[in-house]
Chain A
Amino acid sequence: MHESVAFIWANLASRPAMLEFKRLNAGYGRAQTLFEFDLQLGAGEVLALLGRNGAGKSTALKAAIGLLPTFSGEIFFHKIKLNDLEPFQISRLGLGYVPEDRRIFTDLTVMENLAVGRQPPRAGAPHWTPEQLFELFPNLGRMRERRGSSMSGGEQQMLSIARSLMGNPSTLLLDEPFEGLAPLIVEGIAKTIRALKHKGLSVLLCEQNLRYARLVAERVCIIEKGRLCHTGTMAELDADPALRERYLSV
């Protein structure tokens, strides 16, 4: 049996924020997309998980938040095993998830979207109110009563991040948050991610594009065909064209 959520909350503050994948095998239905996957996200760091389209990046995030069943291996968050927990339980441990396609509730207004994500304050993680989030995303503050369906892609992306912050997470999972956005918006979101890091959040960022990852991440893991094949600092990757050529060029 897993520990009760209340017990876990009480003990969160004393543990360093950390997400850990151990020899994880996972996939969709019978199709395995992640093989013996190992990864560690340290407290307060921004780690980019780089890889081509279909490499297994999203699978890792979905498995962590509990949207995909795992085949074998383990996922730990604050040393708590996540495999058998449901998404809502995992989210209530302080793990925020921002999906690739944003998944805004388009029938709901900005304020209502934020209300869905709301969770009680959590020790060891910054506490957010809608007003504080509107400081972080001024655009959203100007469209509080607007429905998700009439927002631009960039605004939806901001709302998706803000919505998961309403749960006061200690760690954020971001799945390609820059995809399809205008350069100015990309810079704005990168700035936000750096601000979140500054507030002590850990961020696991999935990204295909090294240029975007470079904006926020100091450490890099590269995944190819579902297997982790390189871990190092951003500086190392920048200094090694052969490595970039091998795993990241299209």
Chain B
Amino acid sequence: MEYTSVLIQFLNGLASASSLFLVAAGLSLIFGVTRVVNFAHGSLYMLGMYMAVWLSERIGFWLAVPMAAAIVGLLGAVVEMVLLRKIYQAPELLQLLATFALLLVIKDAALWVWGAEDLLGPRAPGFAGTVQIADGALPQYDLLLIALGPLVLVVLHFMLAKTRWGILIRAATQDREMAGALGVNQRWLFTGVFALGALLAGLGGALQIPREPANLSIDLSVISDAFVVVVVGGLGSIPGAFLAALLIAQAKTFCIALGYSKATLVVEFMVMAAVLVIRPWGLLGRVPANLRGPAAVPLPFHPPSPRMLRIFAVLSGALVLLPLASDAYALVLLTDILIFALFATSLHFILGPAGLYSFGHAAYFGLGAYAAGIFSLQGKFPMELALALAPLAAGLAALVFGWFCVRLSGVYSAMLTLAFAQIAWSAAFQWDALTGGSNGIVGVWPAPWLASKTAYYYLTLLLCAGAIIFLWRAIFSPFGYALRAARDAPLRAEASGIAVRSMQWAAFTIAGLTAGIAGALYAFSKGSISPEAMGVQRSVDGLVMVMLGGLQTLSGPLWGAALFTWLQDAAARNIDYWRAATGAVILALVLLWPNGLGSFLQSKK
């Protein structure tokens, strides 16, 4: 590239960094004070975009931008008061689930109000032209954005460093319980911070409309970008978020400029993985202090009681006899439920007993599915052999990724699992020759003797039940006890001779392997595989299943998977806005039974 075009690309990257920084700064502020990772933050950005496009047709661009930001900020305050206040005491994962449900609801609300078509925004009056730099041209508006990022950084920094409100925010970030005992009303502090974060996200979105049309898929792409920025910069560090936004935006811009536009995701997550391996707490982050306050002590798992075992025996009997009384459609749905029950159980295995948050568990499900397809179609292996080998491929990936993930803890580890899942997803999406790219792989069918729906159902039942029983058995083995010891008291476990990381690494690999079994079974049951099999959505589906069932119950993932799969099947067919419906159901469940559906069933006993 020429020198000028490098410069122009660089300036372009700076302009992109500004919007990214606004979102990430809001996310970071909110997380710092409330300890809630707001999945719906990208949705607030999206709302800012739509609102600004809609308003600028009525009151002009320059009034529309601050107005849109203010409306989104106000909405943030309402969301905090109505939803988040109810779940600050809930387990971390449940909070994530609730904000994700919010994402679903907002997405469908935007679809309902503004329709599925992308909305083109206006040019910014007064900044519609370009600036000549040597022999290249840069939009004037980009210059404005370039200036805005540092300006917001300075304003935020001043507010946090010098105002009393900023001091209270920093105090509450460190020890909110003590701040309360000193007379600080955290409720308004939390609402204020959430509103400010939402306002920043809305502003970021509103400012983006001259550069990019408002669209419905921007929420997930912005939130995963913002996660990366926040984690690379260091959670809670605003200057860190600024640096990271620059780094990520530049990496992406140059990727596109060099003609590798498909590789942006991979590059972005490579940067993240590299930073996290070298500086586990991000560029400017610090080792997180233990959060003060009554720690949520996980309840111990109980081995199934004789009564529960009888229920399972009856249930298994019913599952064996069911094909006699079901039509093909019901059998396919049941097969799906069994597969997702195994997927959810494998996720539960690392979330519950091992205490590792995984936001990218679908990677192993998808790798299992892709491996099955590739082995049987490209490798020309017999179906039985492909089915047996595919989970090993998923397990191998879990072995490699897990090595990194168990080195970090908490939210950081969760972000890294998401990063690896995104790498796997973009590999599947972009490696046309092997994976068929966005079309995926078609024609992955089981061997003739398993071709009937009934035969395949029995195969699935056998393998899934076997794997689930294996996972449950492992929870009550010395290995399982060691895992829980490592989860509840890592230092003490280490001091009593438990190799904490090795145990967690093994658990991660086992979970990946069993998710791979589910994935391989899924591939052969559907006959085709697409990148969606390992997308963010699938990972979150798994989390929803586990949380619906309750993390503290052994059989929770089964009920959760059954309910979710059935609900998705029923809702997707019969309800136009099924995402919003799922979201609303999740929100209702989270608010009513903060410990999961399984605990509700238990309390009824």
Contact = CB atoms under 8 A, between A and B. Distances in A.
Interface of A: 28-29, 65-67, 86-88, 90-92, 97, 99, 103, 105-108, 112-113, 115-119, 163-164, 166-167
Given A28-B294, A87-B177, A103-B178, A108 B170 contact: yes
B170 A105 contact: yes
Contact of B181 (A97, A112, A118, A119): A97
A66 B177 CA distance: 10
Contacts, number: 68
Contact of A87 (B180, B292, B294, B297): B180
A116 B182 contact: yes
A67 B178 CA distance: 9
B174 A106 contact: yes
A28 B181 CA distance: 18
A178 B507 CA distance: 46
Nearest to B289: A106
B177 A116 contact: no
Interface in B172-213: 173-175, 177-186
Contacts of A91: 180-183
Contacts of B63: none
A98 to B, nearest CB: 10
Contacts of B178: 99, 103, 105
Nearest to B180: A87
Contacts of B175: 103, 105
Contact of A117 (B177, B182, B294): B182
B267 interface: no
Contacts of A112: 167, 170-171
Contacts of B7: none
Given A86-B180, A103-B292, A29 B170 contact: no
B288 to A, nearest CB: 12
Contacts of B442: none
Contacts of B573: none
A112 B184 CA distance: 14
A109 B174 CA distance: 13
Contacts of B167: 108, 112, 115-116
Contacts of A105: 170-171, 174-175, 178-179
Contacts of B164: 115, 118
A149 to B, nearest CB: 10
29 contacts: A65-B181, A66-B180, A67-B180, A88-B180, A88-B181, A88-B186, A90-B181, A91-B182, A99-B178, A99-B181, A103-B175, A103-B178, A105-B170, A105-B174, A107-B170, A108-B170, A108-B171, A108-B174, A112-B170, A113-B171, A115-B164, A115-B167, A116-B167, A116-B184, A117-B182, A117-B183, A163-B182, A167-B182, A167-B183
B416 to A, nearest CB: 25
B168 interface: yes
A88 B185 contact: yes
Contacts of B184: 88, 116
Contacts of A92: 183
Nearest to A148: B174
Contacts of A87: 177, 180-181
A117 B182 CA distance: 5
Contact of A29 (B183, B185, B294): B294
Contacts of A115: 164, 167
A108 B179 CA distance: 12
* Shortest 3 CB-CB contacts between residues of A and residues of B: A91-B183, A87-B180, A103-B178
A164 B186 CA distance: 17
A88 B177 contact: no
Contacts of A117: 182-183
A167 B391 CA distance: 62
A249 B294 CA distance: 31
B170 A67 contact: no
A112 B170 CA distance: 10
Interface string B129-173: 000000000000000000000000000000000001001101101
Contacts of A164: 182
A88 to B, nearest CB: 5
Contact of B174 (A67, A88, A107): A107
B99 to A, nearest CB: 24
Interface in B418-432: none
Contacts of B179: 105, 116
A48 to B, nearest CB: 21
